[in-house]
Amino acid sequence: MRVIELWYAILAFTLIVYLMLDGRNFGVGAIQRAVAKTPAERRQLALALGPLWPWHEVWLVVLGGVMFVAFPRVLAVSFTGYYLALYLVLWSLILRGIALEVTGYDEHPLWQEFWDFVFTASSVLLAILFGVALGNIARGVPVGPSGEFQMPFFTNFRTSGQVGLLDWYTVSMALFTLLALSAHGATYLTVKTEGPVCDRSRRLAHKLWILFCPALAAVFAETWIIHPNLLSGIGSRPLAIAPIVVAIAGAAMIARGLKYHRGGLAFTGSWLLLAGLLIAGAAAMFPTMLRSTLGDSNSLTAYNSAAGPTSLKVAAIWWPVAVALSLGYSLFILRQFRGKVPAGR
């Protein structure tokens, strides 16, 4: 049965890598207006995203693929259940991708203003939607005895029984995620840009990370209220404690990096902090994948949703090969694009 645990870990890894990589781009989009004041500065920002944002997005496609091959039941139940929210994500991704692709094709200022706005709006919406998704994973969804669910956007804003996509907990998780990814994006810009954009990003990152501390405490407290076992699960599992320690170290690196203008240190810290929190969450959830708010016996777990052993074993052979190749390509490209993006003409 060890192969099922391996695939749970691979799924968590893929989700977290996607959120960290593309979350950086959502964060940059969300703070675009605050740190880039002129069209030239906004071009500098777009260049700072680098040549790999399509590669970041593919991690989401890979996440779908991993669910497909390893946990087809979870894929079928959750994507049908989150039907409308899923389409909002897909449409926002279409708009975000188009905005990034076409802005540079025309020099007209109105063209640029329009697509910069689309980029910001879709990025904010995506950060919020993925935050809602994380909130839903922690809170649970109304999986009935039939093993399916269909959830409206909202019901009564309470967190038990026939819940909707949005309630007080998932909304606060959404705002928290928007804050965290904005801080992550701002920290990235301190690494990748020079000039006024870099200075504004550093000041903004500083403010956002200070706000992050009480927000994190609030989210912990709320999670304690709606799902006490999740947090006590962290205490009893070494695999959940270790990433918390890493996250604390990350927080220290952010503080030091921003203070001494060492962007690389701060951005590494940002990665460690956010990824550490997410890994701890995934380890504490195990083996639950879709928690039911209508009784634990309805929940989808890694054990009752996994694919057959042959399928899991075959995929466990090619999966690491593909990841290694993928990292190889991305490094080959990144090497040619290293260095800061200077302030525009």
Residue 324 CB, nearest distance to another protein (Å)?
10
Q: Considering the rule CB under 8 A, would residue 118 count as an interface residue with another protein?
A: no
- C-beta separation of 280 from 246 below 8 A: no
Rounded Cα distance between 81 and 133, Å, is: 12
Q: Any alpha helices (H) in 82-167, and if so which ranges?
A: 83-102, 109-139
| Of residues 176, 150, 198, 165, the one with CA closest to residue 343 | 198
CB of 179 to another protein, least distance (A): 26
Taking CB under 8 A as the binding criterion, the range among 23-31, 176-184, 255-263, 319-327 that sits at the site for another protein is 319-327
The nearer residue to another protein, 90 or 210, going by C-beta atoms, is: 90
Query: Candidates 25-33, 204-212, 286-294, 320-328 — which segment interacts with another protein by CB under 8 A?
Result: 320-328
Q: Does 4 bind another protein (CB under 8 A)?
A: no
> Could you say whether residue 311 binds another protein (CB under 8 A)?
yes
Of the candidates 87, 157, 220, 303, which one interacts with another protein according to CB under 8 A?
87
Binding window for another protein (CB under 8 A); candidates: 94-102, 161-169, 270-278, 282-290: 94-102
Cβ atoms of residues 103 and 345 within 8 Å = no
Establish if 162 lies at the interface with another protein (CB under 8 A).
no
Q: In the complex with another protein, which residue's Cβ is closer, 109 or 308?
A: 308
Which of 33, 38, 40, 84: binder of another protein (CB under 8 A)?
84
Is residue 254 within 8 Å of residue 260, measured between CB atoms? no
CA–CA separation, 343 vs 198, rounded Å? 9
DSSP string, 290-325: E-BTT-GGG-EEHHHH---HHHHHHHHHHHHHHHHH
**Is there binding between residue 153 and another protein (CB under 8 A)?**
no
Least Cα distance to 148 among 77, 85, 79 occurs for 77
- Work out whether 171 is an interface residue with another protein (CB under 8 A): no
Is residue 154 helix, strand or coil? strand
Under the binding rule (CB under 8 A), the answer on residue 98 touching another protein is: yes
Alpha helices (H) in the chain, listed in sequence order? 2-30, 32-35, 39-48, 53-70, 72-81, 83-102, 109-139, 168-192, 196-226, 228-236, 238-259, 263-285, 302-305, 309-336
List, in order, residues 6 or more apart from 54 with CB less than 8 Å away. 97
Strand partners, 341: 193
Residue of 40, 105, 113, 220 interacting with another protein (CB under 8 A):
105
* Closest separation in Å from C-beta 157 to another protein: 21
Residues 117, 296, 325, 342: which binds another protein (CB under 8 A)? Answer: 325
- Give whichever of 2 and 338 is closer to another protein, judged by the CB atom: 338
Question: Which of these ranges, 19-27, 78-86, 203-211, 213-221, lies near another protein under the rule CB under 8 A?
Answer: 78-86
- Sign for the pseudo-dihedral over CA of 328, 332, 333, 339: positive
Least distance CB 144 / another protein (angstroms): 10
1 Cα distance to chain centroid: 29
101 binds another protein per the rule CB under 8 A:
yes
Near another protein by CB under 8 A: residue from 36, 70, 191, 230: 70
Q: From residue 45 to residue 64, what is the string marking binding to another protein with x (rule CB under 8 A)?
A: ------xxxxx-xx-xxx-x
Please calculate the CA angle 28-34-35 and round it to the nearest 5 degrees. 65
For another protein, the closer of residues 78 and 223 by Cβ is: 78
Contact 291, 77 (CB under 8 A): no
Q: Which residues contact 158 (CB under 8 A, 6 or more apart)?
A: 167, 168
Contact footprint for another protein (CB under 8 A): 51-55, 57-58, 60-62, 64-70, 72-73, 75-84, 86-87, 90-91, 93-94, 97-98, 101-102, 105-106, 148-150, 307-308, 310-312, 314-315, 318-319, 322-323, 325-326, 329-330, 332-333, 336-337
